[in-house]
Amino acid sequence: MQSPIQPYVIKISGHELDDSAYLASFAAAAAEIARTTPLIVVHGGGKTISAMQQKMGIEPRYIDGIRITDPDSLSLVEMVLRGSVNTMLVRAFINAGLDAQGMSGVDRGLIHATKMLHVSEDMGFTGVVESVRADVLLDMLDMGVTPVIAPLGLGKDSAYNINADVVAGAVAGAVDADRLYFLSNVPGVLVNETLVERLTPQQVESLIADGTIFGGMIPKVRTALDALNSGVKQAVITDLNGLKSRGGTVFSASA
């Protein structure tokens, strides 16, 4: 059943959030969008988590680009994601005039999670999304509140650290989002230095196969396609300027 509220979901990584000018500009852009379209924000925090791990003498470990959350790191991950990063974003949003509320997937059982399984590695407390309580988010949006979500999930035995891209896709699918924005450091998919405004899954696979889309852009576009599979109508890869102008590369099931 289609939700009467069809918000935008914005996923922002933690890499730019230590830049106060960028954060203020992003908050202003989010507040402007929220004047006309309900908004949900999902954030990462990997850069800060890695820095804190190293300060504590814990070497960050990844497999297939996913952080392995060992028991010693879980409390640190919770502290960074739900604590410093989430609070910093909410503070910026409120100062920009946006009525924002910080939360993680643990709060109100928003995101139920299970342990991520891997054929060769114990992923520790790294999880995958099992379900999302869309009603919690839709109620907040109905009251004019912007949820700001830290990517932690509620498990039966623990909290779980979940990739923020995955959380954004699951949240967007659950609330029947009109658009899911993945903020990047590039304006979108570029072909011969020209922005490609629209792509279908078939076109993406063709561009990957012929080498036009390569390197770090491949996981970005794969994430956008995964979001479409989660039920999102359109996924967009863009940068902050593109968010302000509603530009970027739009991914949809059909042209």
Where in the sequence is the domain holding 232, given as residue range(s)? 180-255
pLDDT score for 210: 92
Looking at the structure, tell me whether residues 75 and 27 fall in a common domain: yes
Q: What is the pLDDT of residue 152?
A: 98
Can you give the pLDDT at residue 3? 62
Three-state secondary structure along the chain?
CCCCCCCEEEEECCCCCCCHHHHHHHHHHHHHHHCCCCEEEEECCHHHHHHHHHHCCCCCCEECCEECECHHHHHHHHHHHHHHHHHHHHHHHHHCCCCEEEEECCHHHCEEEEEEECCCCEEEEEEEEEEECHHHHHHHHHCCCEEEEECEEECCCCEEECCHHHHHHHHHHHCCCCEEEEECCCCCCEECCEECCEECHHHHHHHHHCCCCCCCHHHHHHHHHHHHHCCCCCEEEECHHHHHHCCCEEECCCC
Same structural domain, 163 and 200 = no
What's the average pLDDT block by block, 10 residues per block, for the chain (255 residues)? 79 87 96 96 93 92 90 93 95 97 98 95 96 97 97 96 94 94 92 92 94 86 89 93 95 85
- For residues 54 and 80, state if they share a domain: yes
Residues 49 and 150 in one domain: yes
CATH number at residue 152: 3.40.1160.10
Note whether 56 and 117 are same-domain residues.
Answer: yes
pLDDT for res 195: 94
133 and 108 co-located in one domain: yes
For the chain, the domain total comes to 2
Task: Give yes or no: residues 149 and 231 share one domain.
Answer: no
Residue 63 and residue 167 in one domain = yes
pLDDT at site 2 = 58
Same-domain pairing of 51 and 170: yes
Domain boundary among 177, 211, 232: 177
For residues 120 and 228, membership in a common domain is answered with no
* pTM for the full predicted model: 0.94
* Whether residue 135 is found in the same domain as residue 185: no
Pair (52, 89) in one structural domain: yes
